[in-house]
Amino acid sequence: MKFLLTSAGIKNTSIHNALVDLLGKPIAESNALCIPTAIYPFSGGPFMAYQFISGSTTSPMCQLGWKSLGVLELTALPSIKAEYWIAAVREAEALLVWGGDVVYLSRWMQESGMADLLPSLRETVYVGVSAGSMVTAPIFGETYDDPPFVIEKGLGLVDFALLPHVDHKDHPESSMANVERMAAEVPVPTYAIDDETAIKVVDDTVEVISEGHWKLFR
């Protein structure tokens, strides 16, 4: 796969251009599926899922002018014929994986069978937002109220971890100082990125796309 791992979606021209480059053609000529699953464990999750799908969120993803856009709900996949949803995924040129609870998302990526399918999608562009980006790591860390920091196994689609929303006013737990302490507990290289930054991955080449600030903790 090809990856564009963001903190908050397609927030600036540099990240937008990176997406077009990965697609190899304009967004208006590309088909996408959006995956809202990670948001449901949150209070107001169903309403936030609708905001994502309808394009009314502040994280630009579904409102980018795709040629076609479908919704793929991971929790539904085990109850429907695999050939139907697998065909839809293979026809999509981009998968838009929204944020939320990364542990919940990881669980349903695996239980749905999506985790097994993803490595075979050589030309598909995986576009993650926050938890949707974090879940691609071999191991990820996430902040919760109790316990405060949880380390879990990820999908292993890339060979590094990612901590988003660095120094965002609405995410005080993600100050650079806090992120540095968290990264020290994650046993793989960890990128700390703000909302103006994304990580672009093609094969074994990793490129930071940024109009903001970021740091790699080795």
Asked if residues 187 and 154 have their Cβ atoms less than 8 Å apart, the reply is no
Q: Delimit the domains of the chain by residue range.
A: 2-139+149-160+199-210
User: What topology does CATH give the domain 2-139+149-160+199-210?
Assistant: Rossmann fold (3.40.50)
Q: Taking Cα atoms as reference points, which of 131, 128, 129 lies closest to residue 141? A: 131
Alpha helices in the chain (DSSP H): 13-23, 45-54, 82-91, 102-111, 114-117, 131-134, 176-183
**What is the value of pTM for the model shown?**
0.95
pLDDT at 76: 97
Rounded mean pLDDT of 122-150? Answer: 89
The lowest-confidence range among 82-91, 127-136, 164-173 is 164-173
Please state whether beta strands 68-71 and 31-35 pair in parallel, antiparallel, or not at all (unpaired): parallel
For residue range 89-108, what is the model confidence (pLDDT) as tens digits?
999 999 999 999 999 999 99
Distance CA 67, CA 52 (A): 17
